[in-house]
Structure 1
Amino acid sequence: MQLTRKNINLKQVLIAILFILLVPAVTYLASTDMKVGAGLSVMIIGLALGLVCIVNYRLGYYLYITITFILPMLERMSGAEVPKGVAMDALLLFTLLGCIFKRGDKTIARVKFSDPILVCMLVYFLILLSSIVNPNAGSLLGWYVFLRVSLRSYIFLYVGLNVFNNMQHVYSFFKYWLALGTAAAFYCCIQQWTGLLPYEQAYIAKFPEKFGTTVILTGLRLFSFMSDAAVLGIIMACNIIIMLILMTARLHTINLSKKILLGFSIVLHTMALGYSGTRTGYVMLPLGLMIFFIANMHKRNTILAAMVFVFIGLAILYGPFYGSPTIIRVRTAFIGKQDESVNVRDRNRHRIQPYMHEHPLGGGVNTTGGNGVTYTPGHPLADFQTDNGYLRAVLETGWLGMVVVAGIFYFTIQTAVVNFFRCKSELDKLLMIGAAAAIFAAAISEYAQDTFTLVETSIMLFSFMAVLLKVRYLETN
């Protein structure tokens, strides 16, 4: 026993000495070369976060989401391009290691891996693997990058299935998610009220190609601390849908003080959605809420709320408001033929239809748009801007790939609706139908945005998917 204590004390002394020597060493290196000092600081902070993720994989799950969301802001602060994918992969792998060492959660054994959602995910992964032998495919590097990003989503889903083992964990997630969205909305409002911060202006000036859609005729599209304005708009729209549905809860389920907080957050989210200039988000709101209205048509308050919502929508579209660039952009979202950008997208879709019919297996992953220029220059699809997730899927992975992507959305929404009817608690029901409405809106947004492959929106979709899958089997048992 004494020897053991001596060994422990010796280890503690050695660690303390190492730490004491490390501080002046890092300080000296930082003083001689700023980049080396910054790199060492990032490495030390990264290792510390990695250890936290291993020790507590549930906390690591939330750290991964938070850091992934604020990484674009940190990149702008640094004034240089940062390998964000490496940081995300490292954090997620540390979290996965923690999940494996802790042996996850026992309730994951209830999840049937023959579930339609998981079957579709498996089929999609096999399609991606088989793309390497596609005769129309481009470079091996493009295939590897796409597969790596997809694996990140699969690992994130697996960890999520281990994180949510009861409804309290689900409540905690939605509180966190809406709080994160509120922070993003508030930061976007600050950008609108005070203008972009100096480091943001400098970054846009240094990398103008990354912000090609930020400056438009109606003004500046704001992006908060996220990667771009489209991502912000889609997430704001989904959160507004969820919070509006939660506002219909009775007072004994959600008390007045919490409803006031929800109302304040809805106002911030709505302003941020308008400042983002994301027309897709404007269309998502009524279509997403339609799911809630259909599920609750037997309630008088639902019909009254629908009438009020329609009245407000008509006032915005046809009211005498002509000076606001935000309202003008909202109107062009619903009266699209008056906007030339919509007509350009329609013409592009018609132009590429012959390629779809001639290549039923697709042209290979990462061959469209800017990724096509980067990884497969000279490919027929290179630099073709799809502006449509389903179109990108059918062009890159063929008709089967597009059907599987649509199937993932369909079965996820179906699971949410089934949970809605199975759950007994009013709060559980509202969260389930809120998630169903948000995912349905995201599925609609795929027609105008590549929602499924955007980093932040992908995190939203796969975290919601993990919640819905776990609730389904928790409620069944």
Structure 2
Amino acid sequence: MFAIKRNIIRLLTIVLWVMLVPILTYVASLDLKIGIAMVVGIIGMAICLVCVVNYKLGYYIFITITLILPLLERISGSSQSVGVVMDGLLISTLLGCILRRGDKSVKKVQFMKDALLISFYLYTLLLIIQIANPAGHRILAWFIFFRVFARNMIFLGIGLHVFNSMKDVRTFFKFWIAICTAAAIYACLQQWFGLMPYEKAFIAKYPKMFNTTIIISGIRIFSFMSDAASFGIIMACNIIICLILLTAKLSALNLKKKLLLIISIILQGLALAYSGTRTGYVMLPVGLLLFLLTTLRNRNTILIAIAFGFTGLVILFGPFHSNGTVIRIRTAFLGKQDASMDVRDENRHRIQPYIYDHPLGGGVMTTGGNGLLFYPGHPVANLQTDNGYLRAVLETGWLGVLLVAANFFLLICIAVRNYFRIEGEVNKLLMLGIAASMLEMALAQYAQDASTLVESSIMLNALTAIAIKVKYLYALNTQS
């Protein structure tokens, strides 16, 4: 009886799909836009269904589509509601995780005792309190900000169910290095052959979205990501991770994999240079410094440091005086303070009295262009902070900026602790890569709001989930 019902359901499903073909064809012939929307909708629903059926695969689908959404937006020729797409994919993945009841290993995580997780809880509570902030309490502005924060926390929570062993962790890093290398290749093609016609058309149509992309020395390359800044930050973090992995012994990482890493490092180094992200240039030596201090006795570490130092000296002091990319790199280390830095310092000094008078901050979304949109006339509206810590203290007060700094500090501590406590050379180097890249991210926060950019927040929350899960599966146990 059950088999008969199952066959009937299958037959009805086939009939339905057969009937849909002429119906969809007829509707699409009436209006091209409707036809395209229907095709995109069907593909979207199919992808969401895959995310529900397999939430681990959905986790990677979410990352991939989120990273290439800006490219798809440029190809379409118009600004799209990319946040809706991200929310749909993430909710589908979360639903799949709930239906499958996640993974049992997540029970080992001490949710009510872990210092890093507690700092997230406190920051969440602070954001909830901000809805009643008398200096800035627009419900719509608060909802938009909290929606992005909630998206990041859901992504972090799903990650705790995805990474259930070091095999899962290594799979993620293979995927992450591969997709970042693909982004680097695309960036090099943009630099060598110029932007694609649809990219030029999109920039011409929405010039305000690319105010910081077009500079005197040329166009800052952004690959298929949203902007050059987020692209450069990811490249800087990934280069350090690859350099750290390169120091592994041949018994742990064979020659073929090392050659692939070297190719990836070269491509990502070029991409970082083409991005024109001076913050990214400064991030590299900072991340390498933590690596050197931790593994100074390793011969491969010394060789990597020598090679990196020699390359840096050639770029800074070599006979290259007409290359715009090299000149921009030099200004990050050797250049005098420019007008933009003077403006930033003036803004910081001018706004200090406001910080002292508002211990809870002025409310979320009150600074920069968001403040001008939601809070016209607000004291900090249209104030370009260019600093994640400054934005945090202006919008959420002293407690907010302390929690942001504490999150980075605790995450780096967990990663370093994992490095010293887990077994396996590659596993150790991956943990050290997390620590070094997060130290870079903490530094980048001083120059711009790095952690809230879409692409960099994905990297930050994925690495946070890995560090927390490894801590409770390996660092606090003796299992290898």
* Matched AA of 2:160: L
Indicate conservation of the 8 Å contact 1:178/1:239, yes or no: yes
Give 2:75's aligned residue. Answer: 77
1:41 aligns with 2:14: no
Query: 1:313 & 1:12 partners in 2: Cα distance?
Result: 64
Give 2:91's aligned residue. Answer: 93
Query: 1:469 & 1:19 partners in 2: Cα distance?
Result: 45
Q: Secondary structure in 2 aligned to 1:410?
A: helix
Indicate conservation of the 8 Å contact 2:248/2:300, yes or no: no
Deviation at 1:336, TM superposition (A): 4.7
Query: 1:387 & 1:422 partners in 2: Cα distance?
Result: 37
Give 1:463's aligned residue. Answer: 462
Deviation at 1:319, TM superposition (A): 2.5
Query: 2:98 & 2:45 partners in 1: Cα distance?
Result: 18
For residues 103-252 of structure 1, what are the structure 2 equivalents within 5 Å? 103-113=101-111, 114-252=113-251
Mean Cα deviation higher: 299-308 or 414-423 = 299-308
Give 1:379's aligned residue. Answer: 378
1:275 aligns with 2:274: yes
Deviation at 1:311, TM superposition (A): 3.1
Query: 1:315 & 1:191 partners in 2: Cα distance?
Result: 25
Indicate conservation of the 8 Å contact 2:243/2:304, yes or no: no
Deviation at 1:390, TM superposition (A): 0.4
1:159-218 CA distances to partner (integer Å, 9 max, x unpaired)? 000000001000000000000100100000111111110110010000000000111011
For residues 430-469 of structure 1, what are the structure 2 equivalents within 5 Å? 430-469=429-468
> 4+ runs of 1 displaced by more than 3 Å?
none
Give 2:412's aligned residue. Answer: 413
Query: 1:259 & 1:342 partners in 2: Cα distance?
Result: 40
Deviation at 1:317, TM superposition (A): 1.8
Give 1:355's aligned residue. Answer: 354
How much identity, in percent, do the aligned residues show? Answer: 57
Deviation at 1:18, TM superposition (A): 1.2
Deviation at 1:332, TM superposition (A): 1.1
Indicate conservation of the 8 Å contact 1:237/1:282, yes or no: yes
Deviation at 1:303, TM superposition (A): 3.5
Indicate conservation of the 8 Å contact 2:414/2:467, yes or no: yes
Query: 1:42 & 1:294 partners in 2: Cα distance?
Result: 50
Q: Secondary structure in 1 aligned to 2:414?
A: helix
Indicate conservation of the 8 Å contact 2:278/2:328, yes or no: yes
- Which runs of no fewer than 5 residues in structure 1 stay unpaired? none
Query: 2:373 & 2:76 partners in 1: Cα distance?
Result: 24
Indicate conservation of the 8 Å contact 2:281/2:332, yes or no: yes
Deviation at 1:334, TM superposition (A): 1.4
Query: 1:436 & 1:466 partners in 2: Cα distance?
Result: 13
Query: 2:370 & 2:24 partners in 1: Cα distance?
Result: 38
1:423 aligns with 2:428: no
Mean Cα deviation higher: 349-358 or 364-373 = 349-358
Give 1:367's aligned residue. Answer: 366
1:341-376 CA distances to partner (integer Å, 9 max, x unpaired)? 222222221221121111111000011111112222
Deviation at 1:338, TM superposition (A): 4.1
Indicate conservation of the 8 Å contact 1:336/1:342, yes or no: no
Please, which of 13, 16, 35 is the counterpart of residue 15 of structure 1?
Answer: 13
Query: 1:52 & 1:261 partners in 2: Cα distance?
Result: 31
Give 2:61's aligned residue. Answer: 63
Q: Secondary structure in 2 aligned to 1:226?
A: coil
TM-score (norm 2): 0.97
Query: 1:170 & 1:301 partners in 2: Cα distance?
Result: 23
Query: 1:297 & 1:28 partners in 2: Cα distance?
Result: 68
Indicate conservation of the 8 Å contact 1:337/1:343, yes or no: no
Query: 1:276 & 1:259 partners in 2: Cα distance?
Result: 25
Query: 1:110 & 1:267 partners in 2: Cα distance?
Result: 40
Deviation at 1:20, TM superposition (A): 1.1
Deviation at 1:300, TM superposition (A): 4.2
1:327 aligns with 2:329: no
Query: 1:200 & 1:25 partners in 2: Cα distance?
Result: 35
Q: Describe the shift of the 1:404–1:137 C-alpha distance in structure 2 as closer, same or farther (beyond 3 A).
A: same
Please, which of 28, 31, 35 is the counterpart of residue 30 of structure 1?
Answer: 28
Q: Describe the shift of the 1:262–1:300 C-alpha distance in structure 2 as closer, same or farther (beyond 3 A).
A: closer
Q: Describe the shift of the 1:338–1:380 C-alpha distance in structure 2 as closer, same or farther (beyond 3 A).
A: closer
Indicate conservation of the 8 Å contact 1:138/1:376, yes or no: no
Q: Secondary structure in 2 aligned to 1:424?
A: coil
1:36-83 CA distances to partner (integer Å, 9 max, x unpaired)? 112111211111111101110000000000000011111111111111
TM-score (norm 1): 0.98
Indicate conservation of the 8 Å contact 2:416/2:432, yes or no: yes
* Matched AA of 1:88: M
Deviation at 1:32, TM superposition (A): 1.3
* Aligned residue pairs, count: 475
Indicate conservation of the 8 Å contact 2:164/2:469, yes or no: yes
Query: 2:303 & 2:65 partners in 1: Cα distance?
Result: 41
Give 1:312's aligned residue. Answer: 311
Query: 1:424 & 1:175 partners in 2: Cα distance?
Result: 19
* Matched AA of 2:175: Y
Indicate conservation of the 8 Å contact 1:138/1:367, yes or no: no
Q: Secondary structure in 2 aligned to 1:257?
A: helix
Query: 2:104 & 2:137 partners in 1: Cα distance?
Result: 43
